[in-house]
């Protein structure tokens, strides 16, 4: 008599990240709202949907005009998994998708599909780490630096939207982007982050932190007790304890400003739990010793709290924290955290899922 075979236990089904139910507890009124489920910070599937719902649709800050001052200069920036660049031309700024979206690979290697940007000589690839700005003198005819971004006919590359606000450059990948003034410049109009006295670049550096981009931005803006103003695209307020005006322009720009200077942090995910911060200090006149270090001390301290929050999210509901298995999620105590959860859920539940990459138009069969 044949023995019965016990049925295999199936793994738990993956949550539907486009369903309102996934965000329900995070959208409760302040005081009752809970933090986002840990999958929002540790799931590769969630990050891939963010690529569609957030990075491909919102206005993304990619850097400063001072990085590409001359005609022909090129600023690379990977938006989600899409390799882009902004080039200064005689007519202004042109944003394009890079020619070599997957570098020199015919298919995306497995190691490049795990959510981490890899170190690769093809920095134009949407799965590799970016290099810094490229001066026009480095883009000689036939050089690898030129070809992987521009190819032989840059005018044939798919373009993206490019706009400026003060000293900063923004791009949008969508063919029908949201209104730029409503999405971006309202915060500056209300709080004067880039008035006439803050147009000079005084210091710049890149810093990487071990935290999901949302948690890092939340850590940097958590100084604000009560936001003074907000829309679905930006939040701004005063941090009296530090004497700073603070703004978060969703998704990736955080501004910290005192009476004389504005520190802009352009955030770029480099892994599920890792974020690159491109930090630039703007003010007036010549740079002074210590302009950058003063801000970095504050930023590093705020980022440490974000890194701790990321570790907590990784462990929540696992054997590393058995007391949290099936336990209610913590309450969301931060005003900026509550705003972020509403902004993110609105985008994720309205996501347009399209199997054809936006840089590869569908062909007639």
pLDDT band of 324, cuts 50, 70, 90: very high
> Taking residues 320-326, what's their average pLDDT?
95
Q: Whole-model pTM above 0.85?
A: yes
Domain finish residue from 127, 149, 177: 177
Domain range enclosing 231? 27-59+185-353
What is 300-346 written as a DSSP string?
Answer: HHHHHHHHHHHHHHHHTTSTTSGGGTTPPPPB---HHHHHHHHHHHH
Domain finish residue from 161, 177, 193: 177
pLDDT band of 170, cuts 50, 70, 90: very high
CATH number where 346 lies: 3.90.380.10
Top pLDDT among 251 and 294 is at: 251
Q: Are residues 157 and 109 in the same domain?
A: yes
pLDDT at 357: 53
Q: Whose CA is closest to 59, among 155, 169, 153, 137?
A: 169
Number of H helices, E strands in the chain: 9, 13
Among 187-201, 233-247, 273-287, which is the least confidently predicted range? 187-201
In a domain, 159, yes or no: yes
Domain finish residue from 144, 177, 210: 177
Q: Are residues 131 and 35 in the same domain?
A: no
In a domain, 311, yes or no: yes
pLDDT at 363: 38
pLDDT at 141: 56
Q: Are residues 191 and 69 in the same domain?
A: no
pLDDT at 359: 47
Report d(CA 135, CA 304) in Å as an integer. 34
pLDDT at 108: 82
pLDDT at 305: 95
Mean pLDDT of the chain: 89
């Amino acid at each position: 008599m044949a023995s019965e075979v016990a049925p295999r236990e199936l793994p738990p089904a993956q949550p539907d990240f486009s369903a309102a139910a996934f965000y329900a507890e995070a959208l409760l009124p302040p005081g009752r709202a809970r933090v986002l489920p840990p999958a929002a910070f540790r799931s590769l599937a969630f990050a891939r949907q963010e690529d569609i719902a957030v990075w491909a649709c919102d206005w993304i800050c990619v850097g400063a005009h001072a990085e590409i001052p001359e005609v022909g200069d090129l600023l690379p920036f990977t938006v989600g998994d899409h390799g882009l660049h902004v080039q200064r031309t005689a007519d202004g700024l042109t944003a394009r998708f890079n020619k070599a979206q997957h570098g020199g690979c015919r298919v995306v290697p497995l190691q490049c599909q795990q959510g981490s940007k890899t170190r690769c000589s093809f920095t134009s690839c949407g799965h590799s780490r970016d290099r810094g700005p490229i001066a026009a003198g480095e883009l000689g005819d036939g050089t690898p630096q030129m070809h992987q971004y521009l190819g032989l006919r840059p005018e044939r590359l798919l373009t993206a939207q490019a706009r400026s606000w003060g000293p900063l450059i923004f791009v949008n990948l969508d063919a029908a982007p949201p209104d730029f003034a409503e999405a971006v410049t309202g915060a500056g109009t209300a709080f004067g982050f880039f008035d006439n006295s803050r147009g000079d670049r005084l210091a710049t550096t890149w810093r990487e932190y071990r935290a999901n981009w949302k948690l890092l931005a939340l850590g940097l803006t958590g100084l604000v007790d009560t936001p003074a103003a907000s829309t679905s695209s930006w939040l701004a307020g005063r941090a009296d304890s530090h004497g700073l005006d603070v703004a978060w322009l969703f998704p990736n720009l955080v501004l910290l400003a005192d009476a004389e200077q504005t520190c802009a942090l352009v955030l770029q995910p480099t892994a599920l739990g890792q974020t690159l911060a491109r930090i630039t200090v703007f003010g007036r006149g010549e740079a002074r010793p210590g302009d950058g270090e003063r801000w970095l001390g504050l930023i590093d301290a705020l980022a440490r709290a974000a890194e701790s929050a990321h570790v907590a999210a990784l462990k929540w509901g696992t054997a590393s924290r058995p007391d949290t298995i099936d336990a209610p999620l913590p309450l969301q105590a931060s005003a900026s955290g509550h705003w972020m959860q509403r902004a993110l859920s609105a985008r994720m539940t309205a996501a347009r899922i399209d199997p054809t990459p936006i840089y590869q138009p569908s062909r007639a069969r």
